[in-house]
Amino acid sequence: MATQVSNRGSAKAPASSAAAPARPKRPRIPAVLLKFVIAVSSVFLVLYLVVHMIGNLQIFWGQTSINEYAIWLRTLLQPVLGWEGFVWVVRIVLAFAVIGHIWAATLLALRAKRARPVKYAAGNKVKGNYTTRTMRWGGVIVLLFIVYHILDLTVGTLNPHGEHLAVYENVTADFAPSRWYVTIWYVIALLAIFFHLRHGLWSAVQTFGWNSNKREPILKAIATGFSGLLVLGFLIVPISVTFGWI
């Protein structure tokens, strides 16, 4: 390639040959690809959240409705995958998505730290909005919440009722008025998810290369609206239980 390029290309030729011995210092994965990993994994996570949120709403149709929904999920594709097989496929895909998401984000955070060894004495005052500034620590809160949530309503160890497949009983016991602090914790975590998604959804579009100046305000509005609806759909269940509406 260096041979066919004219004058200016020759300026590159020695540069690239000189760069050859310094090759090991190159970050193995370009940051653009790391962002791509974050965006692709987030697609799986967001799709899961949508299904999860809609499934939760079954609780408003009564005890049998949601408990049968839990059983139905485990009978999905049963002839092929066996009892609960489908659920495990989803869990494994999600586990890969979560690990990839966190791995790429951690690498980017470490690189960001290295890219500015000396901080500004007056602070970095360039206006960034709240959501973008809290992606990293907000993400950690969301991760802690996911761990708690699995122990609470999947495994059942942190749940006062904690009986497998007794979804209605577990949820109503979990968010009972006397356990108001659990409800508050869920509300805080869901707000963190709202902020994370609000930036994340738009950011994924930008990472896939589909953003433009014209589309940006519309995309951001859609991201905010979508995250808002999703989180409201989740919030309504614990709040309804705590206030005795279920």
Partner 1 sequence: MKVNLRVWRQKDAVDKGRMVSYVVEDASEDMSFLELLDVLNEKLILSGEEPVAFDHDCREGICGTCSMVVDGHPHGPEKATTVCQLHMRKFADGSTITVEPFRAGAFPVIKDLVVDRGAFDKIIQAGGYISANTGSAPEAHSTPVPKANADRSFAAANCIGCGACVAACPNGSASLFLGAKLTHLGEMPQGQPERWERVVNMVETHDDAGFGGCTNTGACATACPKEIPLDVISQLNHDYLKATVGGRRKKA
- Point out which residues bind partner 1 (CB under 8 A): 1, 4-9, 11-12, 15, 19, 22, 25-27, 30-36, 108, 111-112, 114-129, 132-133, 135, 199, 202-203, 205-213, 216
Smallest distance, partner 1 to C-beta of residue 25, A: 7
CB neighbour list of residue 19: distance below 8 Å, 6 or more residues apart: none
Q: The dihedral of CA 51, 53, 56, 57: what is its sign?
A: negative
The smaller minimum CB distance to partner 1, of residues 97 and 205, is found at: 205
Burial class (CB in 10 A: 0-12, 13-18, 19+), 202: buried
- Cα three-residue angle 99-29-12, rounded to 5 degrees: 170
Closer by beta carbon to partner 1, 42 or else 58? 42
Residue type, 28: R
Task: Rank residues 61 and 130 by Cβ distance to partner 1 and give the closer one.
Answer: 130
Could you tell me how far CA 134 lies from the centroid of its own chain?
13
Least separation in angstroms between residue 32's CB and partner 1 is 5
CB of 119 to partner 1, least distance (A): 7
Least distance CB 54 / partner 1 (angstroms):
28
Q: What is the largest CA-CA distance in the chain?
A: 78
Residue closer to partner 1, measured from CB, 43 or 92 = 43
Q: For residues 35 and 167, which CB has a smaller minimum distance to partner 1 in the complex?
A: 35
Smallest separation (angstroms) from partner 1 to the CB of 123: 5
Is the distance from CB of 154 to CB of 161 less than 8 angstroms?
no
